[in-house]
Amino acid sequence: MSASASGPAPHVPEKTRLGILLSGRGSNFLAIARAIAAGQLANVEIGLVLSNVAGAPGLAAAHELGLATACLVSRGRPRAEHDADVITCLRQHRVDLVCLAGYMRLLSADFIAAFPDRILNIHPSLLPAFPGLDAQMQAFDYGCTVAGCTVHFVDEHLDHGVIVLQRTVPVLDHDDAHTLAARILEQEHLAYPEAIARVVSGDYRIEARRYIPIPRP
C-alpha cells in the first residue's frame, strides 16, 4: 500500500519508453534526447539505445548520457536471427515505441509485426521521392528546388509507411550536396521530436495512408 496520511499517492502516468536504433553518428538520437531533457517530450523517456554496429559514435554518446545501451552486431548474421535478438532486447527494456535513427538495416516482417504501428523512421528526403541511400545527393543531382525530410511509420517496404510529418528545405543556388544535407539535417532534428510527440499523444487516426490529427476538445 502506498497511501499516505493525506490520502492515496497521486497517479503518475507511465512514460512512453523509446527504443532508439542507430548505426552511426546518432545526431537524430541526440536531438530526441535534448528534446526530452528540455521538457518538450514530457511523457517520454529513452528506454534503450541499440546499435547493430560496434563502435557507432551514437552508442558511445548514449553511454555517456547514462542511458541503457546495447550492441547487437548484425554483420554476417541472418536477418531473422538478428531481428529476433533485437526484439527480445527491446522487450526486456519495456520499449513502447521504436525509433529508427540512422539504422542502416532493413527490418524483417517479424520485427514489424512485433511492434505494429509502433516503429518510426526518419528519411532525408520528401518521400516518396528518393528512397534509399544518399537521398540528399539524389535530390540535389536531380535538380530539385525543394528538398526536405520525412518522419514515417515503418512498414515492410523501404521508406514507405504512412507519413507523420515532413519539413521542406529550399535548395539554394550556391548549395552543393553537402551544404544541402547539412540544412536538411537541421530540419530532421526538429522533425523527429515533433513527430514523436504527435504519435505519443495518440491524438490521430490513419485513413487511406493519411495521418490525420484529432484536435483535443
Question: Which residues are near ligand GRF by CB under 6 A?
Answer: 22, 24-28, 58, 101-102, 122-124, 185, 188
Residue 187 amino acid letter: Q
Q: How far is CA 188 from the centre of its chain?
A: 10
> Shortest approach of ligand GRF to residue 204 CB, angstroms?
22
Bridge partners for 48 per DSSP: 19
> Shortest approach of ligand GRF to residue 136 CB, angstroms?
8
Instruction: Name the 3-class secondary structure at 184.
Output: helix
Q: Which residue of the set 11, 82, 93, 123 is catalytic?
A: 123
* C-beta closer to ligand GRF: residue 22 or 171: 22
Distances (CA, A) of 172 to 141, 143, 169, 177, 180: 13, 11, 9, 11, 8
Taking the C-alpha atoms of residue 101 and residue 128, their distance in angstroms, rounded to an integer, is 18
* C-beta closer to ligand GRF: residue 124 or 161: 124
Taking the C-alpha atoms of residue 46 and residue 43, their distance in angstroms, rounded to an integer, is 11
> Shortest approach of ligand GRF to residue 205 CB, angstroms?
26
* C-beta closer to ligand GRF: residue 26 or 47: 26
Told to judge if 11 belongs to the known catalytic residues of this protein, a careful annotator would answer no
* C-beta closer to ligand GRF: residue 165 or 185: 185
> Shortest approach of ligand GRF to residue 194 CB, angstroms?
14
Q: Which three cell numbers stand for residue 109?
A: 516482417
> What amino acid positions are annotated as catalytic residues?
123
